[in-house]
A = this chain, B = another copy of it.
Amino acid sequence: MPGSTKSKTQARGYHHGDLRTALVEAGLALLEREGAAGVSLRAVARQAGVSQAAPYAHFAGKRELMSAVATVGFSRLRDLIAPLASDPARSVGDLGVAYIEFAKANPGLYTLMFGSGDYIDSRDVQLSHASRQAFELLAMKAGRKGSNAVDDPGPIAAWSLVHGLVMLLMNEKIPPEMNERLPEILRLLEPGIAEHTREGEV
């Protein structure tokens, strides 16, 4: 039974077989190849080999499709930094560098994931769940041990610093030469977090 003909994009009769995931993958591919501007519902449908209105059998609209694409992005980000987060030999800075490399490798996807609610539904259950998972990995490293991650200023500051850096670099607000000084910049937050952690201890 390895030659199962229904799992992939094989069955191409009138019914596609697994259009939903095929559309999401087409979206990811277009995002990398053509950039965010080249992603239209119709282009995604073309890429998946179906007709313009076919996606509406699986998604309520473009926002819902793009939310699914962004959700996959957060899962990938989580899988990338999970091993680093659980490795005690790694610092917050190491996590940040890996994070930034993900963003630079998938700029369109990253922009979509953290972009405005015009293109994704940030209240989508799957999406916010996936983004929370990725964030909690950061929090494990940057946070006080006992506190809830979402209430702790330490992890939030770390995430904000890394995210802001990525965005300013991507949109050419700061010179690209700063790429080489990223670890140095990230380290500027460490004394503040250490101080804060000390205060927070019982």
Contacts and interface: CB of A to CB of B under 8 A. Distances in A.
Chain A interface extent, by class: 35 or more
B171 A185 contact: no
B172 A117 contact: yes
A162 B164 CA distance: 7
A168 B192 CA distance: 20
Interface in A145-162: 150-151, 153-154, 156-157, 159-162
Contacts of A118: 35-37
Contacts of A122: 171-173
A131 interface: yes
B36 A173 contact: no
SS class of chain A's interface: helix, strand, loop or mixed?
helix
A184 interface: yes
A114 B173 CA distance: 8
Nearest to A194: B191
Nearest to A114: B171
A136 to B, nearest CB: 12
A111 B172 CA distance: 14
28 contacts: A36-B116, A37-B118, A111-B116, A114-B173, A117-B172, A128-B172, A131-B173, A156-B165, A156-B168, A156-B178, A157-B165, A157-B185, A157-B188, A159-B164, A160-B160, A160-B161, A160-B165, A160-B168, A163-B164, A163-B167, A167-B167, A187-B192, A188-B189, A189-B192, A190-B192, A191-B192, A191-B195, A192-B192
A155 B185 CA distance: 10
Q: Which 3 A-B pairs have the closest CB atoms?
A: A164-B164, A188-B192, A160-B164
Most chain B CB inside 10 Å of its own CB: which residue of A163, A172, A190: A163
Interface string A12-41: 000000000000000000000001110000
